[in-house]
Amino acid sequence: MPEIKLAGKTYDLEGTTFLDRSKWRNKYARPIIEKLGGSLKDLGLVDLIPKAKAETGTEGETQNGEKPDVLYTVLRQSLNNSSVVIALVSDMIDTAFEAVCSYSKAIADDRDHINKHCTETEVVMALLLMLRVVYPLEVMFGLMGSIG
């Protein structure tokens, strides 16, 4: 069960309903992802995709025997570029805070405490974990791989 820690408190990310997560996806996650995508494109990082495909190649394998993930490679290259991270986070930290505090009633009830005591790093890490819960891509891609 995924949990996040904000301002010294732990919150269960599975404690919301599908309907509530769907509303959150539409109000916060989708615009954030679109903004990230636009920022990555503006910064020229989308151009890294062909390079990442060439680096990973279809014949290449990771240490555990799985095919390399091109998207993961691009994201890893992007996040290793500190100017990219600074640009994205500084542009979106307030939006990320709103999204995090709106994820569940338990978190919303502690908004003032979180606002006074959490760090920006906690907010970003919480948002990333929330996005993994509401968009379970590992599960979806794993299922597609087992079908195909």
How far is residue 115's CA from residue 110's CA, in Å, rounded to a whole number?
Answer: 9
For residues 79-107, average pLDDT: 78
Span 106-127, pLDDT tens digits: 999 999 999 999 998 899 889 8
Q: Which residue has the higher pLDDT, 94 or 68?
A: 94
**101 contacts 11 by C-beta, under 8 angstroms:** no
This prediction's pTM: 0.65
Q: What is the pLDDT confidence band of residue 43, given thresholds at 50, 70 and 90?
A: low
pLDDT at 47 over 80: no
pLDDT mean across residues, the chain: 75
What single-letter DSSP state applies at residue 58?
Answer: T
Residue 100, number of CB atoms within 10 A of its CB: 26
pLDDT in tens, 49-64: 666 566 655 444 454 5
pLDDT at 27: 94
Share of residues in the chain with pLDDT > 70 (%)? 55
Beta-carbon count within 10 A of 37 CB: 12
